[in-house]
Structure 1
Amino acid sequence: MAEHTDDSVSTVDSIMDKISDKIHHHDSSSSSDSDNEKSSPSTVKSAIYRLFGRQKPVHKVFGGGKPADIFLWRNKKLSAGVLGGATAVWVLFELLEYHLLTLVCHCLVLSLGILFVWSNASVFINKSPPRIPKVAIPQDLVVNIALSLHFEINRALSVLRDIALGRDLRMFLAVIAGLWVLSIVGSCCNSLTLFYIAFVLLHTVPVLYEKYEDQVDSFAEKAIAEFKKQWAVFDARVLSKIPRGPLKAKKKV
């Protein structure tokens, strides 16, 4: 009788083990399915075409600091102030035909006159004279700016050298076309107006692109595909027919 009881207990235990194994197997399969479902949107999102092969958000592309906040209007008051200051400078020098040296001298004269009168009049109005803070440019800031300029200039010279050597014909034609368009624009307006236009574009184009990046990227993908198609036709009909003779080996004397 005891042996029969032990057999029944062992049978019940084996059945419970099988049920628990099935439950764990179902949970693991469901969790793997859910993980696949969670990972599938990311893979689909990574497969979306981004302009210029961009993989980071627009804010990270601009450095992710205060300059990015200004260009993308994350701080609207600061962005409006910077754009308003640039507009005021452009109005002064371009529309009012103010000169830089004259402006600097007038600002210094006005500032020094106000501080001089205030510091001497404080004796009569029983107020302490204004405290003028000591202004000094930190050495690290100047060194970092110089190193950044040194790196960017060297990189630009390296790119221009590669283009001049003819290693990338498409890049060569694109640079020539860009310089030609820039020369036309430069003949229509002076350097200050050109810099102001570029400054305004930096404050408008990135924020508009960030707002409508999906539509812009979709349109850019179609435009680039069409450009590649037309370039292939141009290459087959024109560039491939340009005679390029082999380099003759120098004769040994």
Structure 2
Amino acid sequence: MVDKIHDSDGETTAYRIFGREKHVHKVFGDGKPADVFLWRDKKVSAGVLGGVSAIWVLFDVLEYHLLTLVSHGLILALAVSFLWSNATTFINKSPQRIPEVEIPEDLVLKLASALRIEINQAGAFLRDIALGKDLKMFLCVMAGLWVLSLVGSCCDFLILLYISVVLLFTVPIFYEKYENQVDSFAKKATAELKKQYDVFDANVLSKIPRGPLKDKKRV
């Protein structure tokens, strides 16, 4: 969707995708994650993307298994820690300090609450679509799920996840650099899609008989 952005005088200044009124950096939270995704800190961004790429090569290209990797990592870490702890008695050094790791209860409750809200909103959204309240949204969702099924049949979940991460590190910075050109193209594409949908609505959808939606009263 492309909406207009109005300035303080109410005059139209530009078109922005999805009605965006904030800078791209603010859309991502205007914090450390935004700096990483938009390459404000190039070392951290390159490190994260490089780490994700290494994981993808390890698990998908070399077909290394997650359980095997975790087991080998723990074996190495525990062996080194055990040997060093016993070696300190012979070299007169204090044993290493291993910090205690505890997950705060408040953090778990906040994450669970946020997840619950998102699941409830998604359920309400799908319920409205299933009840036939918005035909246009129904068609968009069905088309999106169909495309998603095609993508899922072409690649596994790990590849899809890796592609999503790569897009997350490339599309926002590309849009931030060329946002005026992208918004101009999106404006034209949206207008053309709306025109095609109006033709489809007039020739097909409007001819489908539909009864009025009425909420049934419970006795």
TM-score relative to the length of structure 2:
0.88
Quote the Cα distance in structure 2 between the aligned partners of 1:126 and 1:224.
Answer: 73
1:82-109 CA distance string (max 9 Å, x none): 1111111111111111111111111110
Gap runs ≥5 in structure 2: 1-5, 214-219
Quote the Cα distance in structure 1 between the aligned partners of 2:10 and 2:37.
Answer: 29
Name the counterpart of 2:112: 146
Q: Which has the higher helix share?
A: 1
Name the counterpart of 1:204: 170
Cα offset for 1:231? 1.2
| In the alignment, structure 1 residue 175 sits paired with structure 2 residue 147 | no
Cα offset for 1:195? 0.9
Name the counterpart of 1:190: 156
Name the counterpart of 1:228: 194
Quote the Cα distance in structure 2 between the aligned partners of 1:162 and 1:74.
Answer: 40
Q: Is the 8 A contact 2:36 2:45 kept in 1?
A: yes
Matches within 5 A, 1:32-181: 43=9, 47-181=13-147
Cα offset for 1:77? 1.2
1:25-80 CA distance string (max 9 Å, x none): xxxxxxxxxxxxxxx98658853111001111111111112211111111111111
Q: Percent identical across equivalent pairs?
A: 68
Cα offset for 1:124? 2.6
Gap runs ≥5 in structure 1: 1-39, 248-253
Q: Is the 8 A contact 2:7 2:13 kept in 1?
A: no
The one-letter code of the counterpart of 1:186 is G
> In the superposition, relative to structure 1, how do residues 245 and 107 fare at CA in structure 2: closer, same or farther (>3 Å)?
closer
TM-score relative to the length of structure 1:
0.77
> In the superposition, relative to structure 1, how do residues 244 and 91 fare at CA in structure 2: closer, same or farther (>3 Å)?
same
> In the superposition, relative to structure 1, how do residues 144 and 246 fare at CA in structure 2: closer, same or farther (>3 Å)?
closer
Q: Which has the higher strand share?
A: 2
Quote the Cα distance in structure 1 between the aligned partners of 2:133 and 2:176.
Answer: 34
Provide the alpha-carbon RMSD of the alignment.
2.0
Quote the Cα distance in structure 2 between the aligned partners of 1:110 and 1:191.
Answer: 29
SS class of match (2:15): coil
Name the counterpart of 1:241: 207
1:109-152 CA distance string (max 9 Å, x none): 00000111111112233332211111111222212211111111
SS class of match (2:119): helix
The one-letter code of the counterpart of 2:82 is F
Larger Rg: 1
